[in-house]
Amino acid sequence: MENENALGSPKIKKAEPKLEITLSELKEFVSQSQAEYAKIIADALIQSKIPYVDPRQKENEEIFRKSSRETADRILDSIKRSQASCPHKQGCNELSEVQGALSSFVFHRLDTGEVVGLCTNCQKEVRSTNPADAAFFKDKSANRMSSAGVRTFMDPRKAMLKGRLDGGAEVKEKEVV
């Protein structure tokens, strides 16, 4: 039944139905609303602390990173090619006038006892634990070996391999026991 007469007099409000809710339900509803509100505030605070970065700056940085990666790749490629053709002898650099018969490796004994050699021309790295590098340790060198302090290990060979960045992976593959 409509509560409005033909002259358009104001509606008479119907009585709204009463809500039946227990105290614990009310408490739960209130605490839930508070938790949601707290989350909104926390998210807003976190967002406000993130500094604004201009998208053009990001783009420039990406271009710079890409260019740096390309340069590094070119250098690595050049080193690899140089290592493949290097005789590892003193004076073997293409700018040198005379090439000697002595080895161009400089050697260093690590505290694990492993000896590491580095070619002063092509940067090739050789290690006493790698059987494939044995020949490089036979050549006479004018460079005097440097050395770290000496430590004693229960298992010296294990210590040498563990001391390497790759854990001696290369040696383990090639090694014939």
Contact residues toward Zn ion (CB under 5 A) are 86, 88, 119, 121-122, 124
Q: How far is the CB of 85 from Zn ion (least distance, A)?
A: 9
Using an 8 Å Cβ cutoff, are 88 and 103 in contact?
yes
Nearer to Zn ion, 86 or 159 (CB): 86
Q: How far is the CB of 128 from Zn ion (least distance, A)?
A: 17
Nearer to Zn ion, 122 or 171 (CB): 122
Distance between CA 66 and CA 50 in Å, rounded? 25
Q: How far is the CB of 133 from Zn ion (least distance, A)?
A: 12
Beta bridge partners of 126: 117
Nearer to Zn ion, 111 or 139 (CB): 139
Q: How far is the CB of 139 from Zn ion (least distance, A)?
A: 11
Distance between CA 137 and CA 105 in Å, rounded? 9
Beta strands in the chain (DSSP E): 105-109, 115-119, 125-127, 146-147
Tokens of 16: 């709204």
Nearer to Zn ion, 21 or 142 (CB): 142
